[in-house]
Amino acid sequence: MSAEGRGTQAGRITLLLGIHNHQPVGNFEHVFREAYDRCYRPFLDLLGEFPSIRVSLHYTGPLLDWFDRHEPAFLDGLRSRVANGQVELLTGGYYEPILASIPSRDGMGQVKMLTRQLKRRLGADARGLWLAERVWEPSLPGLLGACGVDYTLVDDTHFQAVGLKPESLRGYYLTEHEGTTLGIFPISKRLRYLIPFRPPEETIEYLRQLGGDGPAAITYADDGEKFGLWPGTYRWVYDQGWLKRFFSLLEQNQDWITTKTFGEYRAQTRPTGRIYLPTGSYEEMMEWALPTEALLEREVLIGRLESSGLKNAASGFLRGGFWNHFLVKYPGINLMHKKAQYVSDKLALKEKSSGRSKAKWMTEARQELYQAQGNDVYWHGLFGGYYLNYLRHAVYQHLIRAETLVDTHTTGSAVRLTETDLDRDGYPELLVETTQMNLYLKPSDGATAIEIDYRPKAVCLTHVPMRRPEAYHQKLKLPPASSASLPAGTAPATEGIPSIHDRILVKPSAADHRLVYDRHPRWSFRDHLLRSDTTLEQFETSRYENFGGFSDQPYGTEAAKPGREKAVLSFSRTGAVRDRSLAVQKEYTLLSSRARLDVKYIFRCPRLTPDALSLTPYFWAVELNLTLLAGADPKRYYRFPGKTVDDAQLRSTGVLDEVTEAHLVDEWQGIEVRLEFKPAARLWRFPVETVSQSEEGIESNYQGSCLAVLWPLAIPLKENREGLITMEIIER
């Protein structure tokens, strides 16, 4: 019997359809255009052919802004669907932040900002909220209630964590925190994997099974990009007619399937029950948040359970990690997150002191801050996220603009020195800020520079991720024949297409790339004492011997003095080098009126004994990690005055001797980073490339360039030695 003829045998089903549409701040213009042409527009157009089908839609602020600039007619059509009741619009954080990870004042501000925009532009009174990445914390009802939100959506995984079975979940539930109640709709994972990847008849059949025990309401909610933008989906969803067949089947089965919006259902129906949920997200996200070793162990365990037929029975007891662990797993994510918190605190303090009188610049600064809080770059899983350098660049760009607005109206042109535990690891950092540059130093980790910004152009020069093991690196060991499932767009219309969760695609750039893992986060001005026979290849692949603990052990802070013209910060460390010792003084000088940083080293050997006569040759290597975004762009390149190189691309590898200058040029951003070395040094350079996963497959991505400045040191020293590195950023 066909799915169309089962209405008399099935209990009534209310299908609650929710579609979330989002593009992150900093994404390329052509991606917005492609998403509109292949996904957002055709979906809404086809929905218009089926007026009886009701859906709840969520569009984030970056998309609404893009539509308003480039496709205002799309918003006009959306407004008419809202007016006739076919579409309900959900609110959320304007720039799609993880609400539980940002200050509550910012979370409330972002939600209210989107709610106002939905009302102004689309005539919608949004009472439901799309929770970014469905990252739930039990305290959220208070924040959401203060924003006028009545209900939200989370995954059935959240409910499994308290012992409920996905197949038993119906309608919506009520939770509360400190007396504020909130409705919660459980999203069906089964439907997320059926829609739109399996033939629509399978979804109808699943709904029929759910209705076998009587009337039921079930929630489907997921990314709108699955309907045309994910690999292979445009041909399947539109060319091969999946979406039209799905909508047609829903219309043909209206005798037992009803579609409603979440708001409509909640207004007409009592809650199924009361619920209290622990912190969580959807199952895949909680897997990705685990430490790599634990994630691999979990995969092995699930494989064993599956082979023994116990996977389904055990699934409710196999929780993954916790979203906040991304801040532990990736030091660079934590630094971005804490920088955003630091800027938010700066702005909030200034707003508090101004009372009710809010200047225009404060509104501008807050919008810049909000744009930097978009979630996409603060985690990594199936999607590129953190490993997409242009998204990291956008986050820092907006943060630097926000703090520049605050500082301009607070401290003017003064040099500012702040001692604070910025990254919340229990050790203080030193933050030096001028109108030209930011310099953040970490004495507990080699007195390294964890952030260097050029403020006039709002550019962070140092956001280079470390190369670290990822669970999916195991897939690079697969034989070539198994490196991909169904190619994009080739699946027969009767069989479905693979979700990107099921695809294993390894791009040639990753298949041929060596897996190299770093010992330390890629901060700049990290010091190394190396054997004199150490090679560039050994250094690049982390196969070198380091002496004295200079690379990652604490330096003592000798002085930190901000002045009118400059700030001087001095550090020291004495390290054991076999049976001798080496004392190093490291002094940063940041000028107030120019984008110039001097880093001076003084080397000496204390307590020299008479029998220490033989000299052992070493190299003192200072590691810099800088990013100008593109490694092969002809408008971004190296210049070595007085030297000839075959390849000047930023992704090039090479060794140069007797170097006094190295320039990194970015014609696109109109800046040049000039490095000078005294005395002349040997210079190593190589690209920092990560093997990372995205919806397109596992690929190799350029993240930045590493330069190592090497001076020879023969220990014990017969006399004190000095070295100087000057970094200056100029506009072209």
For the record, the structure tokens of 259 come out as 């579609």
User: Residue for token digits 């770059």?
Assistant: 377
Nearest to 95 by CA among 161, 27, 148, 36: 27
- Alpha-carbon gap, residue 652 to 645, rounded angstroms: 10
**Tokens matching residue 133:** 């990445």
Compute, in degrees rounded to 10, the torsion defined by CA atoms 258, 261, 267, 271. Answer: 80
- Cα angle 264, 265, 266 (rounded to 5 degrees) comes to 95
User: How far from chain centre, in Å, is Cα 59?
Assistant: 19
By the 10 Å C-beta count (0-12 exposed, 13-18 middle, 19+ buried), 243 is classed as buried
CA dist 287 and 237 (Å) reads 28
CA 454 to chain centre: 22
**Cβ atoms 151, 185 nearer than 8 A:** yes
- In 470-498, which positions are buried (b, 16+ CB within 10 angstroms) versus exposed (e)? bbbbebeeeeeeebbebebeebeeeebbb
Handedness of CA 205, 206, 207, 210 (dihedral sign): positive
Q: Look at residues 218, 160, 303 and name the one whose alpha carbon lies nearest to residue 10.
A: 218
Judge whether 385 and 376 are in contact, CB under 8 Å: yes
Give me the count of residues in the chain: 732
* Longest CA span, the chain: 101
Residue 446's beta-bridge partner residues? none
Q: Is 133 annotated as catalytic?
A: yes
Phi and psi angles of residue 673, each rounded to the nearest 5 degrees, phi first: -100, 115
Q: Which of 649, 633, 723 is nearest to 686 (CA)?
A: 649
Q: Is 716 exposed, middle or buried (0-12, 13-18, 19+ CB in 10 A)?
A: buried
Token readout for 201 is: 């008849």
User: 165-203 b/e with 16+ CB inside 10 Å = b?
Assistant: ebeebbbbbbbebeeeebbbbbbbbebbebbbbbbbeeb
Please identify which of the residues 201, 223, 251, 518 carries the catalytic annotation: 223
Q: Is 297 a catalytic residue?
A: no
For residue 200, the number of C-alpha atoms closer than 13 Å in the C-beta half-sphere is 19
Task: Cite the active site residues.
Answer: 133, 223
